[in-house]
Amino acid sequence: MPRIRLRPLAALLAGAATVAMAFGASAEALKVGVTPGPHAQIFEAVKPLAAKEGLDLEVLEFSDYVIPNQALSQGDLDVNSFQHQPYLDNQIKDRGYDLVTVGKTVVFPIGLFSKKIKSLDELAPGSKVAIPNDPTNGGRVLLLLQSKGLIKLKDGGTLKASPIDIVENPKKLQIVELDAAQLPRSLDDVTVAAINGNYAIEAGMDPVKDAIAREAAESPYANILVVRKADKDKPWVAKLVKIYQSPEVKQFVLTKFKDAVVPAW
């Protein structure tokens, strides 16, 4: 009867390690820029799915809306996920970034929040209303205020509207422009603050239950995945978009965030 020769355990382990190293070396490392909260949480759900497809994602959080596009443009990131198309268009126009959209992600209906009133009907004359100071989200909130009958904008208003476009303000509301990330902290100082859904969630608020007014869930301001134009046709881009827009990620979003975050694909 022939003898069976057993390989030493150390040799087996060494062989397994070699295979693992070879597999790891074949994975494509990508840096993803996000804002804290849902964008970061969604990409943490994307990471293991991407790993199975050979993409090694490092998720980096940024506390504002300015740095992620700058970092992507400079090559410090490979992709970012935090903004909607109007905001990107404005950044490209103002800063000359060579960036492009490669896929839609989610919608955060923006809401009006308050610690002092429970309904917009209680809004007293002269009340302070805080809105985002970036051009697109600020205009978005002014349109929301107009839809609630609180103000009227010149020629009906556009996404680029600013406080100087207010032509009627019956309650003489004081519009205070602040960085979007600071709006949750402003609630002690103003009567109403318009807060993006991701920042509301990060601050421990429920965008559906806690908002005293809110955009419709079918808001057109879908967030997007953005890369440098030079990278848009690289195989990893299409692969990442497909993974993000997979049934598994959609189910994660719907289960985790309910109606506070809406899949846009």
User: E strands of the chain, at which residues?
Assistant: 28-34, 55-61, 79-84, 99-104, 106-107, 111-113, 128-132, 152-153, 166-168, 174-178, 192-195, 213-214, 223-228, 262-263
- pLDDT tens digits for 44-100? 999 999 999 999 999 999 998 999 999 999 999 999 999 999 999 999 999 999 999
CA 112 to chain CA centroid, nearest Å: 18
Token pair of 123, please? Answer: 């809004």
pLDDT of residue 3: 38
Least confident of 109-118, 224-233, 254-263: 254-263
pLDDT of residue 221: 87
Q: Which residues pair with residue 260 across a beta bridge?
A: none
- pLDDT tens digits for 237-248? 999 999 999 999
- pLDDT tens digits for 169-204? 999 999 999 999 999 999 999 999 999 888 999 999
Token pair of 36, please? Answer: 């804290």
Band of pLDDT at residue 106, cut at 50, 70 and 90: very high
Q: Give the residue with greater pLDDT, 1 vs 50.
A: 50
Q: Kind of pairing, strands 128-132 and 166-168?
A: unpaired
Q: Helices in 38-116 by DSSP H: which ranges?
A: 38-52, 67-73, 85-95
